[in-house]
Amino acid sequence: MTVFHGSNKEIQAPDVSFSKNYLDFGKGFYVTTYQNQAEKWAFRKSARYNGKPTVNVYTLTEDFSQCRILRFNNENEKWLDFVCACRNGGNLNESYDMIIGNVANDDVFKTVDMYFRGLWDKKRTIEELRYYKMNDQICIVNQEILPAVLKFEKSYLVENK
């Protein structure tokens, strides 16, 4: 499967130690199956950290038989609790090699934040999330499995649209 990672540089050998804390699925190397999403991430990272908006293209193995995977098939209470815990600095992700699910992007996180701050209950938050088109993300948490599951193919610079 082809996956993409938006950055401010080419990344042939990903390293989870460069990840920020407080992300949706915690610290890890994030990829997506949506090229457009990776391009947006590339612009954001290059604006924040300088460099050039770069999309790295990888092949992700589809044999995860040796991996401990947590998969969220949709936004539900478990997804909401997990994202909120990770965004709050929790380390729930460390029990897994890889976490797959939807992105709490800026628009989605505005809704999640209403729950996070105690203004909405879980039911209302989950109901509101159905109005958003969600993009996926795959967070590879375990550095040791990265070379076995992810193969660098190429990178390209993203042109301003």
Token pair 């996070």 in the structure block, residue: 116
Comparing C-alpha atoms, which of 123, 103, 135 is closest to residue 33? Answer: 135
Token pair 């209302």 in the structure block, residue: 124
Task: Please check the confidence at residue 158 and state whether its pLDDT lies above 90.
Answer: yes
pLDDT band at residue 112 using 50, 70 and 90 as cut-offs: confident
What is the rounded distance in angstroms from the CA atom of residue 125 to the CA atom of residue 80? 9
pLDDT given at position 79: 87
pLDDT given at position 73: 86
pLDDT given at position 5: 97
What is the rounded distance in angstroms from the CA atom of residue 138 to the CA atom of residue 80? 16
Sign of CA dihedral 13, 32, 36, 39: negative
Q: Is residue 135 part of a domain?
A: yes
> In this structure, how many other beta carbons lie within 10 angstroms of the beta carbon of residue 127?
12
Q: Is residue 90 part of a domain?
A: yes
Count of the separate structural domains present in the chain: 1
Task: Please check the confidence at residue 161 and state whether its pLDDT lies above 80.
Answer: no
Q: What is the mean pLDDT of residues 120-126?
A: 87
Boundaries of domain holding 57: 2-156
pLDDT tens-digit series, residues 5-35 = 999 999 999 999 999 888 889 999 999 999 9
Integer distance in angstroms from the first to the last C-alpha of the chain? Answer: 27
Task: Please check the confidence at residue 134 and state whether its pLDDT lies above 80.
Answer: no
What does 47-95 look like in DSSP terms, one character per residue? Answer: HHH-S--EEEEEEEPS--TTS-EEE-SS--HHHHHHHHHHHTT--GGGG
Largest CA distance in the chain: 45
The DSSP output letter for 109 is H
R_g of the chain computed on alpha carbons: 16
pLDDT band at residue 59 using 50, 70 and 90 as cut-offs: very high
What is the rounded distance in angstroms from the CA atom of residue 94 to the CA atom of residue 22? 13
Q: What is the mean pLDDT of residues 39-62?
A: 94
Please tell me whether residue 144 adopts helix, strand or coil conformation. helix
pLDDT given at position 152: 98
Q: Is residue 38 part of a domain?
A: yes
Q: Is residue 161 part of a domain?
A: no
